[in-house]
Amino acid sequence: MIMNRKKIFITGAHVLFCLLFVGWFYTNSFIRPYAIFYPYKEIISALLVLFIIYLNYLILIPYFIRRSYYKGYIFLSLLLLVVLSIAELQLVKNDILGCIELSSNGLLSEKRIYLLSILLMLVLRNSGFYLFFTILRLYELTKANALIEKKEALNQDGLILLLPLQGKPISINIKYVSYFSHERNQTFIHGISSEAASIYFTLNNIQEYLGDNCLRVNKENIITFTNIISYNKDEVVVKNGKGNKQRSLTYYKKDAQNILSVLRKKVPDLEEKNAINSQKMQDGGIKEDEKNDIGGINALILDEIRNDPCISVVTLAQKLKGKSSLRTIERKLEELKKSGYIKFEGSKKTGGYYFVERKDRK
């Protein structure tokens, strides 16, 4: 829901590196003296090197290293480096031999030795780039694995490790955390039995660290799923500190449907049942005479929609399993929508059906 600035920055850095790399090859490559009149050869050489570097970075390391196929990885890497260097040499081989012929009448063996020396320099240079990106990728994978281990520990023990602004790192149970907030250039952790505490984490860090165990509801707040009191299509109410205090957090308007969908999956039993029950008693609820007018299955569908706003067709079919088929429910929903009893809001993937009160029907 929120654009990951870190990923954008990393992607931009890679794109900038590729552009600078091609530019550097164009003016400083080993083959330049021999291809000075053929600049396209230098560009081809640069693209070949980049292809091998990113083939290793994106495919070989994740595939071989994660499966501990070290021998296969080393063999394939050496083969790729040699083939790459030979391909670069072939681009300018005739140009090199032409230069040698103009400068001296060397023996064939001397020409071969000179070509081999050029090939060796190409292998060493390409190995340097290859090794640098290998170390970079292994470092990234190590960090990713550490994050996965932390998340696994979180799922098992419910513990998270946070660094306060003052003092030593503290380990707390996520069961006692309601939400995180960003206020006045500081990030705070809010619990159910203590005052808010400042921590050395940004909200993006927390979101990345906790993953599916938290939800970003707006620019300034991230909630956990352990201390939600209730929620609706506009806001979520969470516990906040001692004395049964609570805090209402409104959603991103553009992401309200997505947020509500996640909440309904994570904590489906907390969606303001009291408010729903009270509204049923008001004018506009489904009365017995209406149920008789609209029919049995339609009444069941309306009851479910009334009790569970933003409900999807799939969820309806699950709740009415054995009473009606999915195709029948879809047909009945269209009929009820045309009759004005219900309306659909949101996108096809994340939206849902809402009951229309009698006073609001056209």
What residue segments make up the domains of the chain, in order of their start? 5-155, 170-271, 274-360
Higher confidence at residue 156 or residue 285?
A: 156
| Beta bridge partner(s), residue 15 | none
Please tell me which of 77-81, 183-187, 263-267 the model is most confident about, judged by mean pLDDT: 77-81
Q: How confident is the model at residue 84 (pLDDT cuts 50, 70, 90)?
A: very high
How many angstroms separate the CA atoms of 303 and 286, rounded? 7
State which amino acid sits at residue 63.
Y
Q: Which fold has domain 274-360?
A: Arc Repressor Mutant, subunit A (1.10.10)
Angle at the Cα of 90 (from 89 to 93), degrees rounded to 5? 80
Measured CA to CA, the distance from residue 310 to residue 182 in angstroms comes to 30
Compute CA 340 distance to the chain's CA centroid, rounded to the nearest angstrom: 39
27-31, 192-196, 263-267: which is most confident: 263-267
Q: Which two tokens stand for residue 272?
A: 């303001």
What's the whole-number mean pLDDT along residues 341-355?
85
Which of the listed ranges 46-60, 169-183, 258-272 does the model predict with the highest average pLDDT? 46-60
Sheet bearing 246-250, strands edge to edge: 228-231, 235-239, 246-250
Tell me the three state secondary structure of residue 180. Answer: strand
Q: What per-residue confidence (pLDDT) applies to 29?
A: 61
Mean pLDDT of 356-362: 71
Task: Summarize pLDDT for 140-157 with one digit per residue, the tens.
Answer: 888 777 766 766 665 555
Per-residue model confidence (pLDDT) at position 45: 85
Domain 170-271, CATH 2.60.40.1190 — does that match? no
The confidence score (pLDDT) of residue 57 equals 92
Residue 191: both structure tokens together: 């619990």
How many angstroms separate the CA atoms of 275 and 250, rounded?
17
**Contact at 8 Å (CB) between 1 and 204?**
no
Tens digit of pLDDT for each residue in 300-335? 888 888 888 888 888 888 888 767 778 888 888 888
pLDDT at position 77 over 90: yes
Q: What is the pLDDT of residue 231?
A: 86
Please state, for a pLDDT cut of 70, what percent of the chain lies above it: 77
Token readout for 98 is: 């032409």
Place of tokens 């303001």: 272
Position of tokens 């009820």?
A: 336
Among all chains, which residue has been given the structure tokens 């006073």?
Answer: 359
Residue type, 98: G
Instruction: List pLDDT tens digits, range 1-31.
Output: 333 566 788 889 999 999 998 888 777 765 6
Residue in the structure block whose two tokens are 């939800």: 215
The answer to whether residue 33 scores a pLDDT higher than 80 is no
CA–CA distance, 249 with 235 (Å, rounded to integer)? 5
The dihedral of CA 92, 95, 99, 104: what is its sign? positive
User: Which two three-digit tokens encode residue 56?
Assistant: 């290793």
Which backbone phi and psi does 92 adopt, to 5 degrees? -120, 15
Judge contact between 25 and 45, C-beta under 8 A: yes
Q: Mean pLDDT over all residues of the chain?
A: 78
Quick one: pLDDT at residue 31? 60
For residue 103 the two structure tokens come to 């400068």
Query: How confident is the model over 214-264, as pLDDT tens digits?
Result: 899 998 899 998 889 888 888 888 888 776 778 888 887 788 888 988 998
- DSSP code at position 357: P
Band of pLDDT at residue 100, cut at 50, 70 and 90: low
Cα–Cα dist 267/197, whole Å: 26
Distance, in Å, from the CA atom of 18 to the CA atom of 23, rounded to the nearest integer, reads 9
DSSP 8-state class, residue 270 = G
Give the CA distances from residue 202 to residues 7, 79, 85, 185, in Å, rounded to whole numbers and listed in that order.
Answer: 16, 44, 45, 10
- What pLDDT was estimated at residue 290? 47
